[in-house]
Amino acid sequence: MEDYPAKQGTENLDDPPNSRLFVVASRSVTEDELRDSFSVFGDIQGVWVVKDKQTKESKGICYVKFSKSSQACLAMEEMHGKVLVDGTKPIKVFIAQSRSSTRHRDVEDEELTRIFVMIPKTFSEEDLKDTFKEYGDIEYCVIIKNKFTGESKGLGYVRYYKPSQAAVAIENCDKTYRAILAEPRTKAATTEEYSSGGTARGGEYMNAGDNMNQYAFPMADPGNYPVMDYRSGDFTRCLMMSTRAALTQEQIFALFDLIPGMEYCELQRDAYGMSKGHALIRYSNLGSAVYAKDKLNGFEYPPGNRLAVNFVDDGEDRSSPVGRMAMQFVATQMMSAVWNGPSTSQVMKPPGYPPVSQMSRVQTDVNLPPLKKLAPPDSKSKERLFVVFSPSPLPMDVLEDVFCRYGSLIEVHLVPGRKVGYMKYADKQCADDALAALHGRVVNGVKMKVMLADPPREESHKRPRTY
Q: Measured from the CB of residue 28, what is the shortest distance to DNA in angstroms? A: 13
Under the binding rule (CB under 7 A), the answer on residue 192 touching DNA is: no
Contact track, DNA, 95-134, x by CB under 7 A: -xx-x-------xx-------xxx----------------
CB atoms within 10 A of CB 283: 27
Under the binding rule (CB under 7 A), the answer on residue 208 touching DNA is: no
Longest dimension (CA), the chain: 78
Choose the binding region for DNA from 45-53, 74-82, 345-353, 358-366 (rule: CB under 7 A). Answer: 45-53
Contact indicator for 414, 397 with CB cutoff of 8 Å:
no
Indicate the residue among 253 and 422 with the shorter CB distance to DNA.
Answer: 422
Give the CA count within 13 Å in the CB-facing half-sphere of 173: 27
Under the binding rule (CB under 7 A), the answer on residue 180 touching DNA is: yes
AA letter at 24: V
Q: Measured from the CB of residue 161, what is the shortest distance to DNA in angstroms? A: 17
Contact indicator for 243, 251 with CB cutoff of 8 Å:
no
Please name every residue paired with 81 in a beta bridge, in sequence order, or none if there are none.
none
Alpha-carbon gap, residue 416 to 423, rounded angstroms: 14
Contact track, DNA, 313-352, x by CB under 7 A: ----------------------------------------
Indicate the residue among 145 and 278 with the shorter CB distance to DNA.
Answer: 145
Contact track, DNA, 57-86, x by CB under 7 A: --xxx-x-----------------------
Contacts of 453 (CB under 8 A, 6+ apart): 384, 385, 386, 422
Q: Measured from the CB of residue 449, what is the shortest distance to DNA in angstroms? A: 6
Choose the binding region for DNA from 53-61, 207-215, 309-317, 348-356 (rule: CB under 7 A). Answer: 53-61
Q: Measured from the CB of residue 7, what is the shortest distance to DNA in angstroms? A: 5
Under the binding rule (CB under 7 A), the answer on residue 185 touching DNA is: yes
Contact indicator for 20, 66 with CB cutoff of 8 Å:
yes
Indicate the residue among 76 and 252 with the shorter CB distance to DNA.
Answer: 76
Indicate the residue among 102 and 367 with the shorter CB distance to DNA.
Answer: 102
Cα–chain center distance at 432 = 34
Contacts of 277 (CB under 8 A, 6+ apart): 242, 243, 244, 246, 268, 397
Contact track, DNA, 374-413, x by CB under 7 A: ------------x-x-------------------------
Alpha-carbon gap, residue 273 to 267, rounded angstroms: 10
Quick one: which of 83, 200, 206, 325 contacts DNA (CB under 7 A)?
206
Alpha-carbon gap, residue 21 to 68, rounded angstroms: 11
Please name every residue paired with 411 in a beta bridge, in sequence order, or none if there are none.
424
Under the binding rule (CB under 7 A), the answer on residue 463 touching DNA is: yes
Alpha-carbon gap, residue 397 to 402, rounded angstroms: 9
Indicate the residue among 186 and 340 with the shorter CB distance to DNA.
Answer: 186
Indicate the residue among 13 and 44 with the shorter CB distance to DNA.
Answer: 13
Contact indicator for 426, 384 with CB cutoff of 8 Å:
no
Under the binding rule (CB under 7 A), the answer on residue 34 touching DNA is: no
Indicate the residue among 176 and 319 with the shorter CB distance to DNA.
Answer: 176
Closest CA to 449 of 440, 436, 459: 440
Quick one: which of 28, 50, 215, 444 contacts DNA (CB under 7 A)?
50
Q: Measured from the CB of residue 244, what is the shortest distance to DNA in angstroms? A: 23
Residues listed for the chain: 467
Indicate the residue among 290 and 410 with the shorter CB distance to DNA.
Answer: 410
Quick one: which of 46, 260, 277, 304 contacts DNA (CB under 7 A)?
46
DSSP secondary structure string for all residues of 380-414: PP-EEEEEEEESSPPPHHHHHHHHGGGS-EEEEEE
Alpha-carbon gap, residue 466 to 201, rounded angstroms: 23
Q: Measured from the CB of residue 356, what is the shortest distance to DNA in angstroms? A: 31
User: SS3 sequence, 315-344?
Assistant: CCCCCCHHHHHHHHHHHHHHHHHHHCCCCH
CB atoms within 10 A of CB 99: 11
Quick one: which of 207, 273, 343, 457 contacts DNA (CB under 7 A)?
457
User: How many residues lie near DNA (CB under 7 A)?
Assistant: 67
Contact indicator for 237, 339 with CB cutoff of 8 Å:
no
Please name every residue paired with 449 in a beta bridge, in sequence order, or none if there are none.
388
Q: Which residues bind DNA (CB under 7 A)?
A: 1-2, 4, 6-7, 9-10, 13, 22, 24, 46, 48, 50, 53, 59-61, 63, 92, 94, 96-97, 99, 107-108, 116-118, 142, 144-145, 147, 153-155, 157, 176, 178-180, 182-186, 188-189, 206, 386, 388, 415, 418-420, 422, 449, 451, 453-457, 459, 462-463, 465-466
